[in-house]
Amino acid sequence: MSNPTVDKPKLESQAREPRLWMPERVLFTPAALDEPWGQQILSRVQSLNLPVEELPRNRLTGLRGEDERETYNKSKRTLAVVTAPPSAFKLSPIPPSADWQFHIAEGCPAHCQYCYLAGSLSGPPVIRVFANLPQILDNLAAYEQAGKATSYEVSCYTDPLGIEHLTGSLATCIRHFGTRENANLRWVSKFDGVDELLDLPHNGHTRCRFSINAAPVSGRFEGGTASVTSRLQALRKLALPRSKGGGGYPVGLVIAPIMPVDDWMTHYDRLFDQINEALDFDCNLTFELISHRFTPGSKEVLQTWYPQTKLDMDEAKRSVKRNKFGGTKYVYEADTMKRLRRFFEDEITRRFPQGRILYWT
Ligand code: SF4
């Protein structure tokens, strides 16, 4: 990672048009249409010629199918523009990723068979976006302490880039944080449509991250996302300095969920080669390393969403981790965890000396 090279013929020849999700239905509640930001989203979806339905009440109904699988299929094709409920204005901490999480949407158009949202969000997995964004952003200042940098994660319940062409909400968040003195924004994605973000006045206050994985994991389990190559190409654009036509953002890679698949060292080694190739210049880079885990609740939901999945969720091969609220997680056994962790930490330290590992979990 030393000589800056603007042109990357190999990577660029592999890059395609960005992967853009187009919903089959777009629903608006009356309250969402009353919001200026809701009207802005309406203009965007109309300009894309998407079919818009105005609901009679502020409730989403009629999303269920005959069975869970059909409910899933209908929901994942539906964008619902709603107002965030009052509970969205009481923020929760989100260690180790950031101090606080806030939400511009709930639900994600992709189809990852290990999805982190399974079991976290209730009801059909329709993609709900919030029309009262200015109020959501105004509320954040209450969580900042004078003289102390405060970080906010905006991708806990959605992939904000995956719906950005329909909402413009992520760009608005980036602009907002660009004006805050002591507040930083973090987002993560498996999509790649970043061109509209490159020129935003982010002021270095937003860290853009992509979630990536080794080919056997991304190829088998990550439906509806941009390819890992395209994600890395998007990361490159965001990280390149403005003088080279890039976004000049701090960036990050979330390698997740890490799985000890057959020949895992070779596959993850190849992934590091790809990162090296995409980021062949100095940049402000972090790594977050997350091993695969599941809960009894997430396993149950994932098995109804993806009944044919080959994802290994055999409790007998895992260790149990309990949290302070009595919840149970199944993680890899200590020996496997130790081997994985050592490999990732050693490789990153060796290959990306200026990259910072934020955490392993
Ligand atoms: S991108 Fe993230 S939120 Fe979306 S389906 Fe995949 S794991 Fe779930």
CATH of the domain at 241: 3.80.30.30
What's the pLDDT at 51? 95
Ligand 1: which of 75, 77, 116, 128 to mutate, most ligand atoms within 8 Å of CB?
116
The reply to whether 42 falls in a domain is: yes
Q: How many A from CA of 22 to the centre of ligand 1?
A: 16
What's the pLDDT at 5? 43
CA distance 61 to 27: 10
Ligand 1: which of 72, 112, 231 to mutate, most ligand atoms within 8 Å of CB?
112
Q: Determine if the peptide bond prior to 250 is cis (ω within 30°).
A: no
What's the pLDDT at 183? 97
What's the pLDDT at 190? 98
What's the pLDDT at 9? 42
Task: Tell me if 294 sits within 8 A of 302, measured CB to CB.
Answer: yes
Q: How many A from CA of 176 to the centre of ligand 1?
A: 25
The reply to whether 92 falls in a domain is: yes
Residues 6+ apart with CB under 8 A from 202: 174, 175, 177, 178, 247, 248, 249
Q: How many A from CA of 327 to the centre of ligand 1?
A: 22
Task: Tell me if 136 sits within 8 A of 185, measured CB to CB.
Answer: no
Q: How many A from CA of 106 to the centre of ligand 1?
A: 11
The reply to whether 128 falls in a domain is: yes
The reply to whether 335 falls in a domain is: yes
**22: which 2 tokens?**
């187009």
Q: What's the pLDDT tens digit per position in 217-256?
A: 999 999 999 999 999 999 999 999 999 999 999 999 999 9
CA distance 80 to 72: 14
The reply to whether 2 falls in a domain is: no
Q: Name the stretches of the chain with pLDDT < 70.
A: 1-16
**What is the number of the ligand 1 atom nearest to the C-alpha of 110?**
5
Q: Determine if the peptide bond prior to 96 is cis (ω within 30°).
A: yes
Ligand 1: which of 75, 76, 117 to mutate, most ligand atoms within 8 Å of CB?
117
CA distance 284 to 338: 27
What's the pLDDT at 325? 81
Q: How many A from CA of 109 to the centre of ligand 1?
A: 8
The reply to whether 1 falls in a domain is: no
3-state secondary structure of 127: strand
What's the pLDDT at 2? 41
CA distance 293 to 258: 9
Domain with 63 in it: 9-14+22-360
Nearest CA residue ID for atom 8, ligand 1? 115
Residues with CB under 6 A from ligand 1: 108, 110-112, 115-117, 159, 190, 225
Task: Tell me if 290 sits within 8 A of 254, measured CB to CB.
Answer: yes
The reply to whether 31 falls in a domain is: yes
Domains held by the chain: number: 1
How many angstroms from the chain centroid is the CA of residue 266?
Answer: 26
Quote the pTM value. 0.94
Q: How many A from CA of 5 to the centre of ligand 1?
A: 32
Give the chain's radius of gyration (CA, Å).
20
Ligand 1: which of 115, 158, 228, 294 to mutate, most ligand atoms within 8 Å of CB?
115
